[in-house]
C-alpha cells in the first residue's frame, strides 16, 4: 500500500506518511471493531525467528534473499499498528514469500521496493 498524495500534497513526506498510516489503522480498526471475548495469547517468538521461518518457506532463492528486508519493514511499522494489524501484515508477508508466481524486483533492473 502507498500513501495517497492527493489530499496531503501540502504536507511533508513524513507527515503525509504518518497521516496515511493513521487512516489505514482507523480503517482496519473500524473493520474489526468487535474483539473476540476469549483472548488466548500467542506463544512468544522473535522477529529473527519469524525471518528464519519465512526464509525456510520461501518459494525461491530470490524470495529468500528478499525476506529480511520484508520482515524489517513489518517490524519497523509494528510499533504504530494494533497487534492484530501486525498479525495481518505478517500473514501478507508470508503469502508473498511463499507465492511461486511472484518475483521481487532485482537490483540490476534499477527497481526499488
pLDDT digits (tens, 9 = 90+) for 22-33: 888 888 888 887
Retrieve residue 36's grid coordinates.
473476540
Highest mean pLDDT among 22-31, 49-58, 80-89 belongs to 49-58
Is residue 96, in this structure, part of any structural domain at all?
yes
User: Given pLDDT bands bounded at 50, 70 and 90, which one contains residue 9?
Assistant: low
Is 33 inside a domain boundary?
no
CA gap 83, 74 in Å, rounded? 12
Residue 104's nearest CA partner among 63, 67, 68, 73 is: 63
Number of domains forming the structure of the chain: 1
In a domain, 4, yes or no: no
Max distance between CA atoms of the chain, in angstroms, equals: 50
Q: How far from chain centre, in Å, is Cα 43?
A: 20
Band of residue 110 on the pLDDT scale cut at 50, 70, 90: low
Residue 14 in domain: no
CB 71 within 8 A of CB 48: no
Q: What confidence category does residue 16 fall into, taking pLDDT thresholds of 50, 70 and 90?
A: confident
Q: Does residue 91 form part of some domain?
A: yes
C-alpha–C-alpha distance, residues 76 and 86, integer Å: 10
What pTM was computed for the model? 0.69
Q: Is residue 61 part of a domain?
A: yes
Find the range with the poorest average confidence among 35-39, 54-58, 76-80: 35-39
Average pLDDT for 2-15 = 62
Q: Which domain holds residue 54?
A: 46-100
Within a domain: 83: yes
Is residue 59 in a domain?
A: yes
Amino acid at each position: 500500500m502507498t500513501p495517497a498524495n492527493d489530499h496531503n500534497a501540502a504536507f511533508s513526506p513524513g507527515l503525509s506518511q504518518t497521516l496515511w498510516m493513521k487512516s489505514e489503522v482507523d480503517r482496519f480498526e473500524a473493520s474489526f471493531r468487535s474483539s473476540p471475548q476469549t483472548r488466548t495469547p500467542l506463544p512468544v517468538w522473535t522477529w529473527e525467528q519469524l525471518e528464519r521461518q519465512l526464509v525456510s518457506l520461501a518459494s525461491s532463492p530470490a524470495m529468500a534473499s528478499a525476506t529480511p528486508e520484508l520482515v524489517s519493514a513489518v517490524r519497523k511499522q509494528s510499533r504504530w499498528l494494533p497487534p492484530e494489524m501486525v498479525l495481518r501484515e505478517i500473514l501478507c508477508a508470508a503469502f508473498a514469500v511463499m507465492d511461486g508466481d511472484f518475483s521481487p524486483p532485482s537490483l540490476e533492473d534499477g527497481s526499488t521496493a
